[in-house]
Amino acid sequence: MLLPEALVVTAAVVVLFAARLGWLPRTSRRYLPQVAAVVVLAALGVELWAGATVSTFFGGALVQDRFALFAKAAALLTVAVALAAADWTAEDSPALGVAMPLMAAFGVMVAASAADLVGLWAGLELAAAAAAVMVALRRPDLGLRLLVAGGFASALVLTGLAFLYATTGNADLTAIRAVLLNQAPALTLAIPVLLLLGGLSVRAGLAPFHVASVPAGVGASPLGAGLVVGFVAVAAAIVAIKLAAALVPVPAVFVPYAQVAAAVAMVGGGAAAVAVRSPRPRMAYLAAGQLGWVVAGLSTHFRAGVAASLFLLGAFAVAATCGPALLGRAEGGEPAVAGLGSVRPARAAGLALAMLSLAGAPPLAGFFGELTVAAALAQSGNFVLLGLGLLGSVLSTVAAVATLRVLFIQSPLEEARRGATAALAPLTVFSTVGSVAFCFVIAAYGVFAYPIIGLADQGAEALGLR
């Protein structure tokens, strides 16, 4: 059943058209996000209720399996919480602010269900385009920069996919896997995979390819930053997981690249997070570091490792997308969030949990995900990568605690000195509910890890991993 996709994309298109035709009144800023969040929650309900039935659509181009169920549920939950928790006074356009996250979610859902290379590429581009729109709304220069970097990434991905198609003679992921079962690793396969991973790394903002995404995320509106730092990376990770599952018969063509990328991202992300002080770039670097753990799980190329990556990806999606949304106006750097704990306790608690979860600090969602990946790394005997990951996590925790100090220990700025770049998010019931819901998801992810990791494991199995 593609009803969740239909609900999400219809809502996005309706909002876009309504805004274009001038049907949305000025007061829509108040209720539009709430309506959108309800629609997304309804889609999530449908997905959880009907998504367990395995089925295919469009002649097998889209497949609804446990992997799709997990990824789509995570994406929908993330969007619902992000819409609720965002500071809507900091968004440039409520209509685009609602529509673009929905479009990005649709892109992630397409990528999650894709059974062939075209679907993967389409889903990834859709999510990335939505993020570029959000960035360009506030900073056209950064939007252009993101577009150029995205174009470069897209070219790499497309070239890699084309080579992969040429080498295997198939665009279908299952067929590619079947063809590769009888092949030895070869340069003709290793080169396209390198191009693919390079493109996906640029898309995901994985260190050291974060030169476009982090500045874009810093300059965008809160939700735009969430899309760039979180959602696009999630889409890229989903594409990477599905491609890795197809390439599992010849792991030598992608594992070394993945290990290097993971090591650089984990340590580089943590070190960069310590080096910066402003909360939004710090969050972006923390996210880059945690994404390294996702790639590390992928590099194990067996079911438990991929399941661990997927499990962590769920935690990453929520924290990396909703974190910047919770941050609100942070152009003022640290002073903008100083003492937030005393003036906006729910938002500050959400921010703290987002930071700590992205850092992998116990006992939050990110910790469970990272330790699950660590277990997979240990099983595969890759203790060097494990050690580097732990080093990155320690650095990330130091960075997260530094922001916690600003949030809860420092005194808040006086209202007169705040200005536009450090204005406080208005205290509304909706945003408070969103912040509390976010806190609950991040804190309860570990408590309810039993069914979640079970679904992730089934998702890895659905990709054909044993």
Partner 1 sequence: MTFLIGMVSATPSPAPVPGANIFTSPFLLSLLVWTPVIVAAAIAVMPNPRGRYDTLMKQIAFFTILGLTFILFIAYSQFENFIPTMQYEEKLAWLPAIGVTYHLGIDGPGMVMLILSSLIGIASVVASIGVRERVRAYFCLLLLAQSSVTGAIVARDMFVLILFWGASAVPLAVLILGWGGPRRTGAAWRLLGYWGLGTAALVIGTMTLYSVTGGQSFDMDTLLKATLSPRIQLAVSIVMIVAAATRLPLFPLHGWVRDVYAEAPVGVTVIVAGTAARLGGFLLLRTLIGAMPAAGHILSPLLAALAALTVGYAGLAAMRSLDIRHVGAYLSMVPGGITILGFASVAPLGIAGSVLSLFTGGLAAALIVGICATVAERAQSRSLLVLGGLAPRMPKLAWLLTIAGLALLGVPILATFTAEVMTFFGAFKNQPIGAFAVAAGLAVTAVALAMLLRRVMFGAPNPEAPGVSDASLGETWYLGLLAGALLWVGLFPGGPKIPGTEVPLFDPGLVNQMGAGISDIASPYVAPTPGAAQ
Out of 1, 2, 118, 449, name the contact with partner 1 by CB under 8 A: 449
C-alpha angle with apex 235: 15 to 268, nearest 5 degrees? 125
Write the CA distances from 173 to 33, 51, 205, integer angstroms. 37, 21, 25
Q: How far is the CB of 197 from partner 1 (least distance, A)?
A: 26
Residues 94-133 that bind partner 1 (CB under 8 A): none
d(CA 205, CA 182): 34
Q: According to the binding rule CB under 8 A, does residue 462 interact with partner 1?
A: no
Applying CB under 8 A, the site for partner 1 has a residue count of 42
Based on the shown chain and the rule CB under 8 A, indicate whether residue 374 belongs to the binding site for partner 1: yes
Residues 348-367 that bind partner 1 (CB under 8 A): 349, 356, 361-363, 367
| 464 DSSP 8-state letter | T
Query: In the complex with partner 1, which residue's Cβ is closer, 91 or 457?
Result: 457
Q: Which stretch binds partner 1 (CB under 8 A): 135-143, 201-209, 286-294, 340-348?
A: 340-348
Candidates 84, 86, 147, 307: give the one binding partner 1 (CB under 8 A).
Answer: 307
Check residue 341 for interaction with partner 1 (CB under 8 A).
yes
Paired sense of beta strands 55-57 and 62-64, if any: antiparallel
For residues 103 and 13, the answer to whether their CB atoms sit within 8 Å is: no
Q: CB atoms < 10 A from the CB of 370, how many? A: 33
Q: Of 34 and 431, which CB lies nearer to partner 1 in the complex structure?
A: 431
> In the structure encoding, which two tokens stand for residue 42, read together?
């309804």
Q: Which one of residues 67, 209, 285, 368 is an interface residue with partner 1 (CB under 8 A)?
A: 368
Binding mask 407-436 for partner 1 (x = CB under 8 A): -xx---------------------------
Amino acid of residue 444: A
Considering the rule CB under 8 A, would residue 398 count as an interface residue with partner 1?
A: yes
CA–CA separation, 203 vs 293, rounded Å? 17
Nearer to partner 1, 166 or 378 (CB): 378
- Using the minimum distance from each CB to partner 1, give the nearer residue, 208 or 363: 363
Nearer to partner 1, 120 or 386 (CB): 386
Count Cβ atoms below 10 Å from residue 194 Cβ, excluding itself: 17
Asked if 271 is part of the footprint of partner 1 (rule: CB under 8 A), the reply reads no
Position 278 contacts partner 1 (CB under 8 A): no
Minimum CB separation of residue 203 from partner 1 in Å reads 29
Residue among 178 and 394 whose Cβ is closer to partner 1? 394
β-strand partners of 57: 62
Q: Which residue in the block uniquely carries the two structure tokens 């876009």? A: 16
Nearer to partner 1, 73 or 173 (CB): 73
In this chain, which stretch among 126-134, 214-222, 253-261, 405-413 interacts with partner 1, using CB under 8 A? 405-413
DSSP classification of residue 339: T
Other Cβ atoms within 10 Å of 47 Cβ, number: 25
Q: Which is nearer to partner 1, 55 or 342 (CB)?
A: 342
CB 34 to partner 1: min, Å: 23
Query: How near is the Cβ of 169 to partner 1 at its closest, in Å?
Result: 35
Transcribe 190-242 into DSSP letters. HHHHHHHHHHHHHHHT-TTSTTTHHHHHHHS-HHHHHIIIIIHHHHHHHHHHH
Smallest distance, partner 1 to C-beta of residue 341, A: 7
Tell which residue, 39, 63, 60, has the closest CA to residue 51.
Answer: 63
Measured CA angle at 45 (ends 44, 49), to 5 deg = 115
CA angle centred on 237, ends 38 and 449, rounded to 5°: 65
Least distance (Å) between residue 346 CB and partner 1 = 9
Mark the segment that binds partner 1 (CB under 8 A) among 32-40, 192-200, 209-217, 368-376. 368-376
Binding mask 40-69 for partner 1 (x = CB under 8 A): ------------------------------
Token pair for residue 70? 């997990």
The tokens for 205 are 């903002």
Give 198's contacts (C-beta < 8 A, 6+ positions apart): 153, 156, 160, 209
Binding mask 375-394 for partner 1 (x = CB under 8 A): xxxxx-x-x--xx--xx-xx
Of 208, 190, 305, nearest in space to 254 by CA = 190
For residue 69, the minimal CB distance to partner 1 (Å) is 16
Q: Which pair of tokens denotes residue 292?
A: 């390294």
- Count of residues in the chain: 466
185 binds partner 1 (CB under 8 A): no
Q: Is the dihedral of CA 445, 447, 453, 455 positive or negative?
A: negative
Q: Which residues of the shown chain bind partner 1 in the complex (CB under 8 A)?
A: 304, 307-308, 341-342, 345, 349, 356, 361-363, 367-368, 371-372, 374-379, 381, 383, 386-387, 390-391, 393-394, 397-398, 401, 404-405, 408-409, 449-450, 453-454, 456-457
